[in-house]
Chain A
């Protein structure tokens, strides 16, 4: 073989030597026939391997994949790490914002205020008696001349003039009584107390006094012992400061720990958001592929029925079905929600899968397989389902955020999971009522809903691009 090539070359060389002196015999190299020009240099990839590589290359999609993994960890492992009972109420820290002051002073149980407790001679102007705690605030003042009665007010900002004294706490009842005890819904922080003299006709007189008071959280010995806050202290003394339980994300309007509730809510929201789509996509795939494969009259009837279900007003029927399946006392209402969602949402997938099956059925490779004697079951399992898998997967990814949305909407209008079960939607619903004063109660659940929905949407986008065969060939 080599010999022949060489001889051909030598004749070639002999012919060209005269025409071009540069073309010497050494300038040529024999073609080695063992060189496989056609061989692929890069490793061959299956469709799914290729899609996975392209998904990882998409920054937004891979970031959202990490976020989703993080959320799943938060849901599954969170309660193991943060072992706080989401149903337990911390009545000393109701609606406390994250990072709020959480120390409290140990006090004795409340006892009536006897007049003899007022230290004689010190009542110059308006002053505090004892310590101002959330248990009680005791005020005493020098009599104001000409006063027939006194009105006591409380405000959270410094009063400027008559109209801004704030919340009227009550009259003392007589011009002789120059002390007042406030026990009405006291909050830790700064308050301004004003004492206004009233004349015999009940009109405000001149000479009102205002005092800035810093109120601290109070906890009785018994309460502290019940909450196991005194561990490590031999003889707890009254008047010492102790730390109240720590709530990293604050507490809600019933004093429940927000972080623990968000974790519990995540379990509910994600469970509904993942299980319901899995079920209705599965039903849709079976229904749609059957309709597409059987074809003809049966297909028409099946799709007509799917069209009817699509025409049902979605939210109205969600509510109706949810009520129809009923919630017994003590149940969370998760199951009826999922059933209602599955009943109403399967036709979307069914339509899509049917279209895909109809398309794939006409492909040349399916015909080839059929000609080679493939059975129906083999055709469906080997060719049709795998080739529609991409579309199904993308549908599933987009179905998850919309299911989470639906759950949130329903819980928000009070038609979702029943209290006390937490879901992000029901927590938002609770939070919106006190949005102006305690925004964190709405902010955290709303943030989690948004992040989850965002992550699944971006992942769906990335998945669609990665699985799109048209885009693939363009690169």
Chain B
């Protein structure tokens, strides 16, 4: 177990290095540099600034310097925001994105497991039909449409009741988080429901469930310990990649709901070609995702005793 974990972590580190290198190359392939967007400045000032930020050095040397700093955990200073460290930007805005993402994953996983089980147990009856219809919608309608539509609904309901039951946009309290995280998790929830349904269908027709029924176990116990526990395994497998999808998908939701998350910062940084912020956010996001996938894999070993992690 320990050696497996160490092996996975080393692989993860190599992946992060690859991500950093790819980002660096892609970023420097963009014509211009962070200073070229600024107002016409005289040559001396430009040279001074370039010297300060190390932009006058060859790209290879810049790469080595950046990697050295990265290894020490220093992501540099933003080009466009005066004296603001990238570490600070991440420290301030990532928790927002993470909270949103975690709540969305929780919504998606709970909803997926529940609705999936419900459809499988009521196969071809009305709950199945209704939920599967909703699932098809959830997969086919882009999240920005859901976001816009839910905002519209809340506005109408607020207007109808004359009080504000939920805020339409912004960030700060739990009530601000409900709507965006639900919208963000909806697509994943639909996907997980489908997965849960097929895995549950397979399990309720298996021999050990028949045995459990035959020996007269109480229904709740069969449901919780035999059916749910086994059916939920495929969900855990896709949870890692889902977390990745949800965190990146949060860009749109952050935009529509005016949430001060990292996604908006990234879009802004790319437009201004703010090298350090682009590098910092991408490497950070990449490392986070790699870590999540490793965690989920390890968790899988704990949940499913059949998997021998070796």
Binding site for B on A (CB under 8 A): 307-308, 311-317, 319-321, 323-324, 326, 401, 405, 408-409, 412-415, 428, 432, 435-436, 439, 442, 446, 449-451, 453-454, 457-458
Q: For the complex, is B158 an interface residue (Cβ under 8 Å from A)?
A: no
Q: How far does the alpha carbon of A311 sit from the alpha carbon of B245 in the complex, in Å?
A: 11
Contact B141 A316 (CB under 8 A): no
The answer on a CB contact under 8 Å between B144 and A311 is: no
Cβ contact within 8 Å between A449 and B256: no
Q: How far is the CA of A439 from the CA of B151 in the complex (A)?
A: 13
Q: When chains A and B are docked, how far (Å) is the Cα of A409 from the Cα of B249?
A: 9
Chain A CB within 8 A of B255 CB: yes
Q: With A320-B23, A412-B144, A428-B144 given, is the CB distance from A326 to B255 under 8 Å?
A: no
Stretch from B42-50, B118-126, B222-230, B284-292 at the A interface:
B284-292
A311 and B142 in contact, given A320-B26, A413-B252 (Cβ under 8 angstroms): no
Distance of A451 Cα from B15 Cα, bound (Å): 38
Q: Which residues of B contact A (CB under 8 A)?
A: 15, 18-19, 22-23, 26-27, 29-31, 136-137, 139-142, 144-145, 148, 151-152, 155, 244-245, 248-249, 251-252, 255-256, 266-267, 270-271, 273, 278, 281-282, 285-286, 289-290
Would A412 and B286 be within 8 Å (CB), given that A320-B23, A401-B140, A436-B155 are in contact?
Answer: no
With known contacts A313-B282, A316-B285, A458–B30 Cβ distance under 8 A:
no
In the docked arrangement, what's the CA distance between A401 and B22, Å? 27
Q: A311-B18, A324-B26, A442-B148 are in contact. Are A457 and B140 (CB under 8 A)?
A: yes
Among A311, A409, A449, A457, point to the contact of B139 (Cβ < 8 A): A457
Contact A435 B152 (CB under 8 A): yes
17 contacts between A and B (CB under 8 A): A307-B15, A308-B18, A311-B290, A315-B251, A317-B26, A319-B266, A319-B267, A324-B26, A326-B31, A409-B249, A413-B252, A442-B145, A449-B141, A449-B145, A450-B145, A453-B142, A457-B139
CB neighbours (8 Å) of A409 from chain B are 142, 144, 249, 251-252
The 6 closest A-B pairs by CB, nearest first: A454-B140, A315-B248, A324-B29, A446-B145, A453-B140, A308-B18
Please tell me if the beta carbons of A313 and B286 are within 8 angstroms of each other in the complex. yes
| Cα(A460)–Cα(B153), bound, Å | 32
Nearest chain A CB to B75 CB, angstrom units: 15
Chain B residue numbers with a CB within 8 Å of A450 are 137, 140-142, 145
Roughly how many angstroms separate A246 CA and B209 CA in the complex, as a whole number?
A: 64
Q: When chains A and B are docked, how far (Å) is the Cα of A323 from the Cα of B274?
A: 13
Q: B152 contacts A313, CB within 8 Å?
A: no
The distance from the CB of B133 to the nearest CB of chain A, in whole angstroms, is: 11
A120 to chain B, nearest CB (A): 47
Contact partners of B145 in chain A: CB under 8 A: 428, 442, 446, 449-450
A312-B286, A313-B19, A454-B136 are known contacts. Are A415 and B31 too (CB-CB below 8 A)? no
Nearest chain B CB to A182's CB is how many angstroms away? 28
- In the bound complex, do residue A316 and residue B152 qualify as a contact, i.e. CB atoms below 8 Å apart? no
Known: A324-B26, A412-B144, A446-B145. A312 touches B19 (CB 8 A): yes
Shortest CB–CB separation between residue A374 and chain B, in angstroms?
38
Q: Is A308 in contact with B15, judged by CB distance below 8 angstroms?
A: yes
List residues of chain B with CB within 8 A of the CB of A449. Answer: 141-142, 145
CB nearest to B254 among chain A residues: A413
Q: Which B residue's beta carbon lies closest to that of A314?
A: B248
Residue of A nearest to B25 (CB): A324
Assess the A311–B136 pair: CB atoms within 8 A: no
Provide the residues of chain B in CB contact with A442, threshold 8 Å.
Answer: 145, 148
Residues of B within 8 A of A317 (CB): 22-23, 26, 282
The SS class assigned to the A binding surface is: helix
**CA–CA, A454 and B249, complex, Å:** 19
Find chain A residues with CB under 8 A from B15 CB. Answer: 307-308, 311
Contact status A408-B142, CB under 8 Å: yes
Are B255's CB and A413's CB within 8 A? yes
Chain B nearest CB from A124 CB (Å) reads: 39
**Complexed CA–CA distance, A414 and B286 (Å):** 23
B244: chain A residues at CB < 8 Å are 313-314
Name the residue on B nearest A424 (C-beta).
B142
Nearest neighbor of A409 in chain B, beta-carbon distance: B252
Q: Which residue of A lies closest to B15 (CB)?
A: A311
Complexed CA–CA distance, A84 and B285 (Å)? 46
Given contacts A308-B15, A319-B270, A320-B27, contact A313 B136 (CB under 8 A): no
Given the complex of chains A and B, what is the CA–CA distance between A453 and B190 in angstroms?
14
In the complex, A143 Cα to B256 Cα: how many Å? 50
Which A residues touch B22, using CB under 8 A? 312, 317
Q: For the complex, give the distance between the alpha carbons of A414 and B263 in Å.
A: 13
| Cα-based distance from A429 to B139 in the complex (angstroms) | 20
* Distance from A400 Cβ to chain B, minimum over Cβ atoms (Å): 12
Q: Is the CB of A432 within 8 A of B248?
A: no
Docked pose: A314 CA to B273 CA in angstroms = 19
Q: Which residues of B contact A316 (CB under 8 A)?
A: 248, 266, 281-282, 285
Complex-state Cα separation, A453 to B281, whole angstroms: 31
In the bound complex, how far is the Cα of B273 from the Cα of A413, in angstroms? 17
Please tell me if the beta carbons of B142 and A321 are within 8 angstroms of each other in the complex: no
Chain B residues with CB below 8 A from A453, complex form: 139-142
A454 contact set on B, CB distance < 8 A = 136-137, 139-140
Cβ of B275 to closest chain A Cβ, rounded Å: 11
Q: How far is the CB of A87 from chain B (nearest CB, A)?
A: 25
A105 to chain B, nearest CB (A): 35
User: Which single residue of chain A is at the shortest CB-CB distance from B293?
Assistant: A311
A156 to chain B, nearest CB (A): 16
Query: Which residue of chain A has the shortest Cβ distance to B31 in the bound complex?
Result: A326
Cα–Cα distance between A408 and B252 once the two chains are bound (Å): 11
Contact indicator A323/B270 (Cβ below 8 Å): yes
Q: In the complex, which residues of chain A have a beta carbon less than 8 angstroms from the beta carbon of B267?
A: 319, 413-415
A-side contacts of B256, CB under 8 Å: 432
| Docked CA distance A436–B158 (Å) | 14
Taking CB atoms, residues of chain A closer than 8 Å to B26 are 317, 320-321, 324
Q: Which chain B residues lie closer than 8 Å to A436 at the CB level?
A: 152, 155
B248 and A323 within 8 A (CB) = no
A315→B263 CA distance, assembly (Å): 10
A326 CA to B145 CA, complexed, in Å = 28
Q: Which residue of A lies closest to B281 (CB)?
A: A316
A453 to B138, CA, bound (A): 11
Residues of A near B281 (CB, < 8 A) are 316
